Amino acid sequence: MVVNSLAERYRADFPILDQKVNGFPLVYLDNAASTQHPNCVIDEIARYYREDHANVHRGIHALSSRSTKLYEDARARAARFLGAASADSIIFTRGTTEGINLVATSWGTAHLGPGDVILITEMEHHANLIPWQIAARRTGASLQYLAVHGDEGTIDWSDLERLLSQNRVRLLAFTHISNSLGCINPVRAICATARRHGVTTLVDAAQSAGHAPINVQELDCDFLVFSGHKCCGPTGIGILYGNPAVLDDMQPYQFGGEMISRVTYESADWKPGPHRFEAGTPHIAGAIGLNVAMDYLETIGRPAIQANDHHLGEVAYERLSRLPGIRILGPRRERAGLISFQLGATHAHDLVAYADQFGIALRGGHHCNQPLMRKLGLQATARASFYFYNTESEIDRLVEVLEAAIKYFGA
């Protein structure tokens, strides 16, 4: 079986998983928040600091030259990872959140105005909601939503054509995979519809870049963002892909060193993209670690990881759905490798704390989806999220602990 073969082959690459928590073997099911790091990533970051560390782009000595090459190699790797035509379309950020804020500030300020519409969905993470609230406030544009229907989180995408036809929509920003619902949105079809209406698109790929093959040219999106720490890379590093034609028309987001070509006491000129968007000293080690992480994932094969995710997601849904009093969010089939649930009247935080006593790492809360949770009549959910190093036996262990929790809390 795909799941067992992936876990059996690659789990030993992750030293953190070989430990006990509260006397029990660790079952790490918080991958939607942050994945773990294989030895190759850890080793390469340590090697870089031992042998090559220096600031990039600004020195002509050997260490700076080596560091710069490693940094720019990571940019080229990110372009291949996303199927981008050029490394010049890749901007390093601190993560998905900064990438979206960059677009909302730089692109939004220049292209939005009164009467314009920013369209997003009701399932968006706060990182793909609040920046657009602020952009709308600053520019006089309005923010509208594609509605989420029911616990499965379905969206009537056929309504998109009407909304784009009847409104002055300038930007459509949406998540590829919902971090609460586990549903997978049809990115290519959505972007094609937007393209027909001349609408700029931004795809939040935080939950998908490390889990499924992505080709931005095939998707035909204008922007796509993801975070390194959700795909075996370090924290504090992320990628913003931008269509080169769109990037060329954008002004910088931050100002300072490196992003300038000429400065006088009166004014400054900017470098072309992507460097005009990378002010100051970047997270060099983060980019280098992400480079190795992307190589590692491509060695495994993201199609195999995607199949693994879907299998674990469906297995988890089927086995957890047998528990009395459980409410599960997201679709039963064709779901990503995460599952959010409410167990009776037990608060998610209590449930997560209980599971932790038995070595199971879950996430509990609103998952940066407060408006969605409110719409669904929930304060919070517990969430189990999987990666290729997880197994069906860990799902069985989760079910056992949840059965004990039902008795303990009287849920």
DSSP state of 305: H
CA dihedral of residues 247, 253, 259, 260 (deg, nearest 10) = 100
* Domain contains 38: no
- % pLDDT > 90, the chain: 91
- Could you tell me if 81 and 227 lie in one domain? yes
Asked whether 74 and 228 are in contact (CB, 8 A), the reply is: no
Q: Is the pLDDT confidence value at 2 over 70?
A: no
Task: In whole angstroms, give the CA distance from residue 140 to residue 142.
Answer: 7
What is the pLDDT, as a whole number, of residue 411?
61
CATH of the domain at 238: 3.40.640.10
- Could you tell me if 135 and 206 lie in one domain? yes
Number of H helices, E strands in the chain: 15, 17
Task: Express each pLDDT in 17-42 by its tens digit.
Answer: 999 999 999 999 999 999 999 999 99
Cis peptide, bond prior to residue 274, ω within 30 of zero: yes
Among 244, 267, 298, residue at a domain's last position? 298
The residue segments making up the domain with residue 333 are 2-30+302-409
CA dist list (Å): 319 to 137, 292, 330, 400, 407: 45, 35, 15, 10, 18
Paired tokens of 40: 């190759």
Q: Which residues contact 50 (CB under 8 A, 6 or more apart)?
A: none
* Domain contains 37: no
Task: In whole angstroms, give the CA distance from residue 148 to residue 139.
Answer: 27
State the average pLDDT over residues 147-158.
Answer: 92
- Could you tell me if 249 and 362 lie in one domain? no
- Could you tell me if 109 and 229 lie in one domain? yes
Task: In whole angstroms, give the CA distance from residue 372 to residue 356.
Answer: 26
Q: Which residues contact 106 (CB under 8 A, 6 or more apart)?
A: 250, 251, 252, 253, 277
State the average pLDDT over residues 102-117.
Answer: 97
Look over the chain and give the mean of its residue pLDDT values, rounded to a whole number. Answer: 96
CATH of the domain at 400: 3.90.1150.10
pTM of the model: 0.96
- Could you tell me if 261 and 323 lie in one domain? no
Task: Express each pLDDT in 257-295 by its tens digit.
Answer: 888 889 999 999 998 889 999 999 999 999 999 999 999
- Could you tell me if 13 and 70 lie in one domain? no
Among 270, 298, 326, residue at a domain's last position? 298
pLDDT band of residue 297 (cuts 50, 70, 90) is very high
State the average pLDDT over residues 233-238.
Answer: 98
Paired tokens of 189: 């079809």
- Could you tell me if 24 and 50 lie in one domain? no
Give the active site residues: 368
- Could you tell me if 319 and 290 lie in one domain? no
Task: In whole angstroms, give the CA distance from residue 289 to residue 295.
Answer: 10
In terms of Cα–Cα distance, which of 217, 128, 240 is closest to 173?
A: 128
The amino acid present at 129, given as its one-letter code, is L
* Domain contains 13: yes
CA dist list (Å): 260 to 59, 267, 270: 16, 11, 4
Helix (H/G/I), strand (E/B), else coil: 278: coil
What is the pLDDT, as a whole number, of residue 1?
42
State the average pLDDT over residues 383-391.
Answer: 98
In terms of Cα–Cα distance, which of 217, 191, 192, 184 is closest to 331?
A: 184
Q: Is the pLDDT confidence value at 52 over 50?
A: yes
Asked whether 388 and 14 are in contact (CB, 8 A), the reply is: no
- Could you tell me if 97 and 174 lie in one domain? yes
Q: Which residues contact 16 (CB under 8 A, 6 or more apart)?
A: 26, 28, 36, 37
Q: Which residues contact 74 (CB under 8 A, 6 or more apart)?
A: 92, 287, 288, 290, 291
CB atoms within 10 A of CB 60: 7
The amino acid present at 318, given as its one-letter code, is E
- Could you tell me if 119 and 229 lie in one domain? yes
Annotate 36-66 with DSSP letters as a single string. Answer: ---HHHHHHHHHHHHHT---SSS--SHHHHH
Looking at the structure of the chain, the number of domains it has is 2
* Domain contains 36: no
Sign of CA dihedral 181, 388, 84, 127: positive
The beta strand positions in 353-400, using DSSP E, are 360-361, 363-365, 381-385
CA dihedral of residues 354, 357, 361, 365 (deg, nearest 10) = 30
Paired tokens of 406: 């039902």
HSE-CB of 11 using CA atoms within 13 angstroms: 18
Higher pLDDT, 1 or 379: 379
Q: What are phi and psi of 382, to 5 degrees?
A: -90, 150
The amino acid present at 286, given as its one-letter code, is G
pLDDT band of residue 134 (cuts 50, 70, 90) is very high
* Domain contains 48: yes
* Domain contains 136: yes
* Domain contains 35: no
The amino acid present at 23, given as its one-letter code, is G
- Could you tell me if 283 and 160 lie in one domain? yes
State the average pLDDT over residues 114-128.
Answer: 98
What is the pLDDT, as a whole number, of residue 59?
80
- Could you tell me if 270 and 368 lie in one domain? no
Q: Is the pLDDT confidence value at 4 over 70?
A: no
* Domain contains 347: yes
